[in-house]
Chain A
């Protein structure tokens, strides 16, 4: 069933230094700006963004990786910030919905959400937008069925789905 292939190098390896469980210095790069924070290792990226950096775009919906309201990008990939520990993002690049606009100009997807009336209460919208921009980057928006499937990690309790798809289509077709 199993076979030892070669002896381990583990015996000589030193045990790694430990940080925490109390607050430790954590450097986060968010929307291009470096922030030095004192965080406990258990703090999620979502809580660090909202409670420490006051970037309240990413929302705490379920806090268990189900709803997608907390979607941000880590190294340009859409990621659930509620299931990510902030300390694991040291050395990585975090982008939130607050980082999408450039020089005061909304991102095309943000404009399309307004033009297509792609939200009602707006709670899921920052996550929807971060997911939608990434969706186009990934090339998963060829038709409505594909958009629906690849946006399924972002729940909208108001069921604005048809208008969200319209916004995605609008930006896709501008390109």
Chain B
């Protein structure tokens, strides 16, 4: 690892002022991505500003039945919080199916939103990579891309967004709260994760020195019955090949304000809007589930190595829908 210097922040304003004043300074939270990438020479800050002492660990109920999760709440604490277990089981499931117990103890929720892709070409600090070195090219396009994205891809980047918990947060229309040199801002999650397009190095709309301070989850009573379904190469401690977060409110067999989002298959946490449009107002049943899943993946652009993800994503969408609506036939 290259030499770095260190500052520990005691308040939010001091942390922001320090990072904002120096383009070569970065925030340090749980460090589970950042220390690793420092060691790989992928991230090259001169100084780290340790924000772990900042009072941003709250997990609070909101009057609308929603949640406010402080950016420094750890994944493990959010997963265990009674209010999350009861009201947002899909958030809990996504958290406990991610990483390992040690990493979940360390990793912060804000850091989870800011984590970097696990694309091996991004991480090797040597291959051409438009995300790491704009304009250098994408090694994954014709490389080993079995784990890469099929949705939201461009000719410049096909890196998969790695987060599990961002997937249910996308389904629930969560918002990211930041504080920065120019004040507080609130971003819809969809805007916080732009598609790569021809600027894959721009992963978030935040400016240098802008700090994620919290995540707001709007209330959704139907989310008490919800799920996060994750398919991967190993049973545990592995990133998703495909995952789906689903909330399916039903009245008299008819689907209401359905929420569906996909992980492991896209360059960002992927809201399945095409499928939602087909399913909203439709009577629950396998046929419409299959049609919705088929339509959602129509824009997919796969490679010979990751083409299986298209069918996999469709099948887990159908399975999640059948499970939540009680229409799943025993297999």
Contacts and interface: CB of A to CB of B under 8 A. Distances in A.
B103 interface: yes
Given A5-B183, A138-B101, A16 B49 contact: yes
Interface stretch (A27-35, A82-90, A101-109, A118-126): A82-90
B301 interface: no
A175 interface: no
B72 to A, nearest CB: 13
A18 B102 contact: no
Contacts of A80: 32, 102-103, 106
Interface residues of B, number: 56
Contact of B106 (A64, A83, A149): A83
Contacts of B47: 18, 20
Interface residues of A, number: 54
A64 B101 CA distance: 15
Contacts, number: 159
Given A77-B105, A88-B31, A135-B101, A16 B183 contact: no
A12 interface: yes
A65 B183 contact: no
B101 A14 contact: no
Contacts of A14: 14, 17
Contacts of B28: 85, 88
**Residue from B2, B8, B11, B15 with most neighbouring chain A CB atoms (10 Å):** B8
Contacts of B236: 148-149, 152
A36 interface: no
A20 B21 contact: no
B179 A78 contact: no
A8 B183 contact: yes
A15 B18 contact: yes
B36 to A, nearest CB: 5
A34 B106 CA distance: 23
A129 to B, nearest CB: 13
B237 A153 contact: yes
B9 A63 contact: no
B4 A13 contact: no
Interface string B179-190: 111111111100
A4 B184 contact: yes
A50 interface: no
Contact of B17 (A1, A13, A24, A152): A13
B9 A16 contact: yes
B35 interface: yes
B282 interface: no
A78 B4 contact: no
24 contacts: A3-B185, A4-B184, A5-B186, A8-B179, A10-B17, A10-B180, A15-B18, A16-B15, A16-B18, A18-B6, A20-B3, A20-B5, A20-B6, A64-B39, A77-B76, A77-B105, A78-B102, A79-B105, A80-B103, A85-B28, A88-B31, A131-B101, A153-B100, A154-B100
Interface of A: 1-22, 24, 40-42, 44, 63-65, 68, 71, 77-80, 83-85, 87-88, 90, 131, 134-135, 138, 140, 148-154
